[in-house]
């Protein structure tokens, strides 16, 4: 599996390079597994009250951030699957703010959201572990930008790291 090296600049759009830069070199599948362990530990220590409210007007709540992470990961893994399988269809982007506005995270408990994320990440880890080595460097276009399959895994991990840091710095 060729997922231990940070993706080259030509493997992902500039908008995602900051997420990838935050991560240490190493096995990205292991990084994804450890990232979820760290996120889960952070979230399990929160009350429903803490998870329900944004740190300031116009910002997302922690529950909304968690649903945003799941929505984004599902979309990115779907892209990775299509690219890994050689699907050359150009894929559309998505509006994260629209998704969060319609996610209704506030009506769900934090425990429910953590459990859903656990199941989702577990399935995605199995997907990543099962990719043939050649699939990691396959490319595709989404939202008008080119990505490698490997870069998508790194983006998911970096995106989670980014939001975990925001929760620690601004919400706690």
pLDDT tens profile 126-170: 999 999 999 999 999 999 999 999 999 999 999 999 999 999 999
pLDDT at 13 (0 to 100):
96
Domain 16-171 has CATH 1.20.120.450: yes
Q: Tens digit of pLDDT for each residue in 23-47?
A: 999 999 999 999 999 999 999 989 9
pLDDT at 5 (0 to 100):
85
Q: Tens digit of pLDDT for each residue in 46-75?
A: 999 999 999 999 999 999 999 999 999 999
pTM for the model stands at 0.95
3-state secondary structure the chain: CCCCCCCCHHHCCHHHHHHHHCCCCCCHHHHHHHHHHHHHHHHHCCCHHHHHCCCCCCCCCHHHHHHHHHHHHHHHHHHHHHHHCCCCCCECCCCHHHHHHCCCHHHCCHHHHHHHHHHHHHHHHHHHHCCCHHHHHCEEEECCEEEEHHHHHHHHHHHHHHHHHHHHHHHC
């Amino acid at each position: 599996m060729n997922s231990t090296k940070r993706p080259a600049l030509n493997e992902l759009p500039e908008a995602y390079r900051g997420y990838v830069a935050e991560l240490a070199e190493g096995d990205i599948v292991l990084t994804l597994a450890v990232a979820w362990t760290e996120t889960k530990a952070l979230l399990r220590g929160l009350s429903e009250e803490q998870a329900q409210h944004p740190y300031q007007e116009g910002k997302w709540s922690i529950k909304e951030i968690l649903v945003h992470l799941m929505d984004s990961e599902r979309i990115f893994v779907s892209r990775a699957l299509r690219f890994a399988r050689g699907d050359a269809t150009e894929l559309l982007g998505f509006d994260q703010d629209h998704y969060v506005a319609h996610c209704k995270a506030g009506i769900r408990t934090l425990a429910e959201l953590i459990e859903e994320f656990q199941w989702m990440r577990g399935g995605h880890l199995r997907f990543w572990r099962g990719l043939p080595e050649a699939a990691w460097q396959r490319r595709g276009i989404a939202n008008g930008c080119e990505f490698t399959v490997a870069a998508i895994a790194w983006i998911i991990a970096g995106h989670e790291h980014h939001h975990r840091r925001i929760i620690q710095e601004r919400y706690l």
